[in-house]
Copies of this chain bind each other. A is one copy, B any other.
Amino acid sequence: MNIDEIIAFHEITQLKYRYLRAVDTQDWTLLASVFAANVRTWYDKGKLTTQGREAAVKGLADHMGPAVHSHHIAVHPEITLTGPTTAKGVWRFQDIVWFDKAHPNPLVPQLEGGERLIGAGYYYDEYEKENGAWKISSTGFVRIFESVEAMRNNPDVTLRSEPAYGKLNG
């Protein structure tokens, strides 16, 4: 481990944090900025797969949007440099997602609104440097488990979903 590896580790983890902030605050401009031009996504072991930056952003924007309030955290980064401008990373993640309304979702069928998903798994990422800045060139995940609780008829649950999605000036 040397100082250059520490700096690369730091820059790549910052990249991933921006990615996760973009997804959950639904900032699709920020999301585009973290992807390499030819990024590949293969969410949930390939159930949702895209190729290229535009398709990757559209894929996420389509199945999120006003029907969803999501919270994805990624921790335990294990990053390996695979070349002067390439790296790969493994991260544990956890997600809590509220499906506020019925909306087609390629990963979770038959949502009626009022469901809460709680899941966990691993991200398997690849990164590359474009013009001196790290970008995500491939990302996907494999779950440990995923639970969905239908709560629309449960009078003991109250949910406050913020329209600004956690943004300061939303």
Contact = CB atoms under 8 A, between A and B. Distances in A.
A143 B124 contact: no
A150 B156 contact: yes
Interface of A: 1-3, 6-7, 9-11, 14, 16-18, 20-21, 24-25, 69-71, 73-78, 90, 92, 94, 96, 98, 116, 118, 120-122, 124, 142-151, 153-154, 156-162, 164-168, 170
A145 B70 CA distance: 8
Given A9-B10, A14-B78, A18-B78, A157 B161 contact: no
Nearest to A162: B143
Contact of A94 (B71, B76, B121): B71
Given A122-B168, A144-B162, 18 more contacts: A1-B11, A6-B7, A21-B92, A24-B92, A24-B144, A69-B144, A69-B145, A71-B120, A73-B92, A74-B75, A98-B145, A122-B166, A142-B164, A142-B167, A143-B160, A145-B159, A145-B162, A147-B158
